[in-house]
A and B are shown apart, each in its own frame.
Chain A
Amino acid sequence: MKTQFDPYSNYLATLKKIGYVPRKEATQEDYNRIGFMSGLEVHQQLLTDKKLFCNCPAGIFHAHDDFDAEVIRHMRPTLSELGEYDGTALMEFKTKKEIVYRINNENACTYEVDDTPPFLINRQALERALQITILSKFNVVGEVHITRKQYLDGSIPTGFQRTAILGVEGEIQLKNKKVRLIQLSIEEDSCREISDIGHRRVYKTDRLGMPLIETVTYPDMVNPDEVKEACDYIRFLNRSTGLVRTGMGAGRQDVNVSCKGGTRIEIKGVAHTKWIPELTHNECFRQWALLSLREELLSRVKDPKAWKTESALLDFDAFKITHPAIKDARDNGQKLVAVRLPEFKGILSYFNQPGIMFAEEISDRLKVIACIEKPNMVHTELPQQIITSADMEIIKMILNTDEEKDAVIVFWAPEADIKTALETIEERCKMAFEGIPNETRKSFEDGTTMFERVLPGADRMYPDTDSMPIPLEGSYIGELAKTIPNDVHERLAQMIQWGIPADTYHYLLSKNLFPIIEKAIVELGVDPKKAGKLFGHELKNVEGHYEAGDDFDYTRILDLIKFCKENGYHSPLGAMMLPELYQHPNMDFNSILTVIKFKKRSKDELISQIDFLSKKFDNEAKNNTKENKAAWIMGQIRPMAVGNICLAELKSEIDNMIQ
């Protein structure tokens, strides 16, 4: 009698074997054990009128279907300087993708689709990027050299991104440590993907060419929370200048992670910093799991180089097919192929990421490299079998499968893609003997990642022959340095000293409200705690609930504070006016008071009510205590009192009068 193999138990057993712990339970010892190491590439769009290398307006976006023309390109790998093709290049070429670019005349010209050479670099963008370079304590270069960085996924129609280093070797100061920065570069943003189905990938070119900066750190971070802290810091720093764009997609980061004995894996385009801890945690354990899987394989297979798969074309009609994807494949004239993976039993269901087993890495590559949409395969270690065990027995027999040792994958694909699919499966399996493939990965909100592309090699940089070097005179850099604001670290220290509530720091720095608060406190004499609450709590709340009027800008709040001060109004009247001001920034303040039904009343008028209310309470109250009475009177007068008198003062007046 054979022992029944249970894939799910195997998944759990391997999870335990590598010592996976959920992030909430993980300690620094866990991260030290697996050698967690992480660095960042933080991208931030610059606030400029125009794009970086042409005169199209920046920041004008359009809907997917709102385009004037389409252009098609195919990317070809070019030879590196060592005469080798880059890994990514070859993979992208293998995929034979047709890349479609949608162009809208409002925001793209012939430069974006590579039909016109670059114009001179946008000086406004360069200047703003340099200001941030100086702020991040980088060593500023003497001459800017535009470089081409190859991307063959089609995200840039030229096949390369124009980019240039402005500074090297900077640093930032986190709460408990310094993080070293490798470099800051200015670059053009890429296209936005509309769809990627089969052999056709569609992009739009509205964002393409917008100037952005990339800040790259050394891999100095040793746990997931530190990565987030560093990322937040860099983003605050960028925003604190007021020179960068904010809002959806204006800031994105690539996160590099490795474990002990692992390799640098790049998680691309993480949109929110709050996702970073879970993503980096899982990625580090994924690598740890792949290393464990390698040990397992090497203990089984003596000569990994000789290891190979075997495959056979299956006849759809020979099997009972119930799975809808396989039915569709049959109806669309695709082929069904079985692949035997010798010695891979228990490998396909090896722990990979929470809820994901190793087989998914193969399926991901079938999607990306062979262009076969998911679901694209089934295998012998699925928790629930999709192909009946009777059918699987036949397939195993066709392939001469050793029940105790081998695993089998069954995939379906158009005939033209089968060759690439078979190569892809074998290639990924052979990589398992090596350890962790160099790749970039796409992130998901649940903290898991999937294969995106092969990691490009170092050979993809070369000079842009269309551009001249740009000298940066010492006097120019000196002038720029004078315009730089305090850096984030100093701002944080100041807020702590002022006693501003800690829960507001993130919001205040990310919205670059510090300069406004500073004015309110220093110039208008607002109590720092109240200022912190007004901006960090009240304004945040208003932003979450209302739509801002077109002309709204934060300095209007300073006008509001001034108005209240001049008229002797007390808080929280300002906070009550905030929603109206936010929605109708041009409305005059007295009109706002009318809208919120505010009436000016003198202190005497308010206090004179206390005696009357006190008597009324005595007549009606069931539980007549002093506290109840004071609270009830306060409740009655409060609506009239707000803004006219300091509420604390009113409270003590009431307390005095009901003695």
Chain B
Amino acid sequence: MDNTDFFQGYKGRSLEVLKKYSVRVWGQAEMNTTRGEFKGTILPRASNDDDEHIVMKVITGYNIGIDINTIIDMKEVGYKKANYAIPEKQFPYTEGLPQVKLFGTGGTIASRLDYRTGAVIPAFSPGELYGAVPELADICNLETEKIFAVFSENMGPQQYIELAKAIGREIEKGVDGIVIGHGTDTLHHTGAALTFMCQNLPVPVVLVGSQRSSDRPSSDAALNLMHAMKTAGTSDIAEVMVCMFGPTSDEYGLLHKGTRVRKMHSSYRSTFRTIGDTPLAMVTREKVTPIKKNYHKRRNDKNVIIKPFFSDKVTMVYYYTGMKPDVIDGLVAAGYKGIVFVGTGLGHVNKEIYPAIRRAQAAGVHMYMTLQTIWGYVQMYVYDTGRDMMAMGIIPAGNMLPEVGYIKLSWALGQTDDPEEVKKLMLTPINDEITEREPYNGYLVYQGGVPEVEEFIKKVHK
């Protein structure tokens, strides 16, 4: 029989000890050690942990580790393997509620922890979701489809294309709105990709995730999901949006355009922010309240245009002050056809790499400039360096976010090689990836400690 079944996760010396005493994972063990006696159920061990310890769950529910070097004797006195299943309850159909389709891609929005192993069990079917968030049944009628199960950081071109096609199919079937459950790390990349790939949407497409996994009582998953369903089912905004917490408090969500949103904090719930503009709308369980006056309205037709293109020959170069020309030469030699620079200030790199940029231009590489400052416009006319760079073929990308620039150039090069065509695609905004103006409230990074800011955050939930 396969050993891994009996000794899940154990390796090396700890595996030998378990075998020596014939004690299995899920076996109830009694151990005599130089530190006294221990009783409990042997648990699987996480694969990255060392081979010096055996994990057990004691009667009070806590887990402890036993140092194998202290073990004098051990025996198995019982065996009880745990089986995990999430209860399914029939998701009720309610006449008159909108029909929403939920696509699963993996990630924490729809998962729960395997208590003992620490592994993640995806909870995803409508029945499972209804069991966990029964309020969803008051918002919409739900159908779900698992398209793939990848972690957010593993989402890539292939997944964007599959998602775009799936969206096209659902719209053809006449759904009222689409929600995509997604890990949060690259939620904004997918937001941009789907904006470019699914044009002229007649219904909302809402990307949603959670910053705290749904196995936690304080998770933002349930509320985010309710907000997303509410938006998909009832909102008048037919765009690709990211729906996540507005403040870190459990109060309301914000809807951000897929092309203007960015994850701005590694762990806050309110991590997603619209950059250089206001968000599209606020959303609560009860209603969606638009903030922007102009947006693409919901329609009754099915005239979506799916453009599932993506070139894998595009890269991004985050400029740093000691950068050497060989970095650029290397990328060109590797066959990259498009480079999105993330430059300093108004969009600059140092003179030292100019020769390499010239060589890239000569090799026909499409080059665009975006900003490390995140906020503001590329402005290459102000200084000579900027003009020099434009002369070398680097095209300023306005206030397009760097990640969006990368996604868009990949999408454009997936369709054409012609520099003029590419430039036209890049600089013609599909949904505000470049905006004509930056409103005064599009840049708000307040500094703590300033009296009026302190007064504000004391009153208003952050």
| Residues of A participating in the B interface, judged by any CB pair closer than 8 Å | 67-81, 83-84, 89, 105, 110, 113-117, 138-145, 147, 149-152, 157-160, 163-165, 168-169, 182-183, 185, 216, 458-463, 465, 468-469, 471-474, 477
B339 vs chain A, min Cβ distance (A): 35
A575 CA to B66 CA in the complex, in Å?
53
Q: CB within 8 A of A471: which of B62, B67, B84, B212?
A: B67
A74 CA to B226 CA in the complex, in Å?
14
Q: CB within 8 A of A150: which of B64, B217, B223?
A: B217
Closest 10 CB pairs of A and B: A143-B65, A159-B217, A139-B36, A142-B67, A461-B61, A462-B115, A72-B249, A145-B63, A81-B115, A159-B218
The reply to whether B67 and A83 contact each other, CB–CB distance below 8 Å, is no
Interface residues of B in 58-87 (CB under 8 A from A): 58, 60-70, 82, 84-87
The reply to whether B58 and A471 contact each other, CB–CB distance below 8 Å, is no
Provided the pairs A78-B215, A81-B84 are in contact, do residues A115 and B269 lie with their beta carbons within 8 angstroms?
yes
With a CB–CB cut-off of 8 A, which chain A residues contact B215? 78-79, 462
Interface residues of B in 200-230 (CB under 8 A from A): 212-219, 222-223
Provided the pairs A139-B38, A145-B55 are in contact, do residues A75 and B217 lie with their beta carbons within 8 angstroms?
yes
**B156 interface residue per 8 A CB criterion:** no
The reply to whether A168 and B87 contact each other, CB–CB distance below 8 Å, is no
Q: CB within 8 A of B67: which of A69, A138, A185, A474?
A: A474
Q: CB within 8 A of B113: which of A110, A142, A465?
A: A465
With a CB–CB cut-off of 8 A, which chain A residues contact B65? 141-145, 469, 471
The reply to whether B63 and A147 contact each other, CB–CB distance below 8 Å, is yes
With a CB–CB cut-off of 8 A, which chain B residues contact A472? 67
The reply to whether B35 and A110 contact each other, CB–CB distance below 8 Å, is no
Q: CB within 8 A of B61: which of A83, A105, A113, A458?
A: A458
Provided the pairs A110-B267, A165-B58, A471-B53 are in contact, do residues A72 and B250 lie with their beta carbons within 8 angstroms?
yes
A68 CA to B448 CA in the complex, in Å?
10
**B462 interface residue per 8 A CB criterion:** yes
Interface centre among B52, B84, B116, B218 (most CB of A within 10 A): B218
A469 CA to B218 CA in the complex, in Å?
24
A189 vs chain B, min Cβ distance (A): 17
Q: CB within 8 A of B64: which of A110, A145, A462?
A: A145
The reply to whether A115 and B64 contact each other, CB–CB distance below 8 Å, is no
A149 CA to B65 CA in the complex, in Å?
18
Provided the pairs A78-B214, A114-B218 are in contact, do residues A462 and B113 lie with their beta carbons within 8 angstroms?
yes
**B138 interface residue per 8 A CB criterion:** no
With a CB–CB cut-off of 8 A, which chain B residues contact A142? 33, 35, 53, 64-68, 70
The reply to whether A70 and B53 contact each other, CB–CB distance below 8 Å, is no
With a CB–CB cut-off of 8 A, which chain A residues contact B49? 468-469
Given A72-B249, A114-B218, A183-B58: 18 more A-B contacts, CB < 8 Å: A67-B458, A68-B454, A70-B249, A74-B223, A76-B219, A78-B112, A78-B132, A79-B132, A81-B82, A139-B37, A140-B35, A141-B35, A165-B60, A168-B64, A459-B115, A462-B116, A463-B115, A471-B50
A144 CA to B116 CA in the complex, in Å?
15
With a CB–CB cut-off of 8 A, which chain B residues contact A149? 61
Residue of B nearest to A86 (CB): B217
Q: CB within 8 A of A168: which of B38, B113, B223, B267?
A: B38
With a CB–CB cut-off of 8 A, which chain A residues contact B268? 110, 115-116
Residue of A nearest to B212 (CB): A114
A424 CA to B58 CA in the complex, in Å?
35
**B461 interface residue per 8 A CB criterion:** yes
> What number of B residues sit within 8 Å (CB to CB) of A?
61
A462 CA to B85 CA in the complex, in Å?
16
**B145 interface residue per 8 A CB criterion:** no
The reply to whether B86 and A83 contact each other, CB–CB distance below 8 Å, is yes
A72 CA to B245 CA in the complex, in Å?
12
Contact with A along B107-150 (1 / 0, CB 8 A): 00000111110100001000000011000000000000000000
Provided the pairs A78-B112, A165-B62 are in contact, do residues A143 and B53 lie with their beta carbons within 8 angstroms?
yes
**B382 interface residue per 8 A CB criterion:** no
A532 CA to B217 CA in the complex, in Å?
52
A474 CA to B36 CA in the complex, in Å?
13
The reply to whether A68 and B458 contact each other, CB–CB distance below 8 Å, is yes
A-B contact list, 19 entries, CB within 8 Å: A70-B249, A78-B214, A79-B112, A79-B132, A83-B84, A83-B87, A105-B448, A113-B248, A115-B248, A138-B36, A141-B64, A143-B67, A145-B64, A145-B65, A158-B217, A160-B216, A165-B60, A169-B36, A465-B213
A463 CA to B115 CA in the complex, in Å?
6
**B94 interface residue per 8 A CB criterion:** no
A393 CA to B34 CA in the complex, in Å?
74
Interface residues of B in 438-462 (CB under 8 A from A): 448, 454, 457-458, 461-462
A196 vs chain B, min Cβ distance (A): 18
| Residues of B participating in the A interface, judged by any CB pair closer than 8 Å | 33-38, 49-50, 52-53, 55, 58, 60-70, 82, 84-87, 112-116, 118, 123, 131-132, 212-219, 222-223, 248-251, 265, 267-269, 448, 454, 457-458, 461-462
A140 CA to B70 CA in the complex, in Å?
11
Provided the pairs A110-B268, A139-B35, A462-B115 are in contact, do residues A75 and B218 lie with their beta carbons within 8 angstroms?
yes
A182 CA to B219 CA in the complex, in Å?
32
Residue of B nearest to A70 (CB): B461
Q: CB within 8 A of A158: which of B55, B112, B218?
A: B218
With a CB–CB cut-off of 8 A, which chain A residues contact B50? 471
A93 CA to B311 CA in the complex, in Å?
49
Residue of B nearest to A116 (CB): B267
The reply to whether A68 and B269 contact each other, CB–CB distance below 8 Å, is no
A79 vs chain B, min Cβ distance (A): 6
A74 CA to B115 CA in the complex, in Å?
22
Interface centre among B53, B64, B217 (most CB of A within 10 A): B217
A470 vs chain B, min Cβ distance (A): 9
Provided the pairs A71-B461, A463-B115 are in contact, do residues A471 and B52 lie with their beta carbons within 8 angstroms?
yes
With a CB–CB cut-off of 8 A, which chain A residues contact B462? 69, 71
Residue of B nearest to A141 (CB): B64
The reply to whether A79 and B87 contact each other, CB–CB distance below 8 Å, is yes
The reply to whether B112 and A76 contact each other, CB–CB distance below 8 Å, is no
With a CB–CB cut-off of 8 A, which chain B residues contact A78? 112, 132, 214-217, 219
A163 vs chain B, min Cβ distance (A): 7
A203 vs chain B, min Cβ distance (A): 13
A68 CA to B453 CA in the complex, in Å?
11
A75 vs chain B, min Cβ distance (A): 5
With a CB–CB cut-off of 8 A, which chain B residues contact A110? 267-268
With a CB–CB cut-off of 8 A, which chain B residues contact A163? 62
With a CB–CB cut-off of 8 A, which chain A residues contact B61? 147, 149, 458-461
With a CB–CB cut-off of 8 A, which chain B residues contact A477? 35
B233 vs chain A, min Cβ distance (A): 21
With a CB–CB cut-off of 8 A, which chain B residues contact A169? 36-37
With a CB–CB cut-off of 8 A, which chain B residues contact A165? 58, 60, 62-64
A460 CA to B113 CA in the complex, in Å?
12
B28 vs chain A, min Cβ distance (A): 15
Provided the pairs A72-B249, A142-B67 are in contact, do residues A152 and B85 lie with their beta carbons within 8 angstroms?
no
The reply to whether A72 and B251 contact each other, CB–CB distance below 8 Å, is yes
A19 CA to B268 CA in the complex, in Å?
58
Interface centre among A105, A139, A477 (most CB of B within 10 A): A139
With a CB–CB cut-off of 8 A, which chain B residues contact A152? 217
A294 CA to B437 CA in the complex, in Å?
74
Interface centre among B68, B214, B249 (most CB of A within 10 A): B249
B55 vs chain A, min Cβ distance (A): 7
Q: CB within 8 A of B62: which of A68, A150, A158, A185?
A: A185
The reply to whether B457 and A69 contact each other, CB–CB distance below 8 Å, is yes
With a CB–CB cut-off of 8 A, which chain A residues contact B68? 142
With a CB–CB cut-off of 8 A, which chain A residues contact B461? 69-72
B80 vs chain A, min Cβ distance (A): 13
B430 vs chain A, min Cβ distance (A): 34
Interface centre among A71, A157, A160, A472 (most CB of B within 10 A): A71
The reply to whether A474 and B216 contact each other, CB–CB distance below 8 Å, is no
The reply to whether B62 and A147 contact each other, CB–CB distance below 8 Å, is yes
Residue of B nearest to A93 (CB): B217
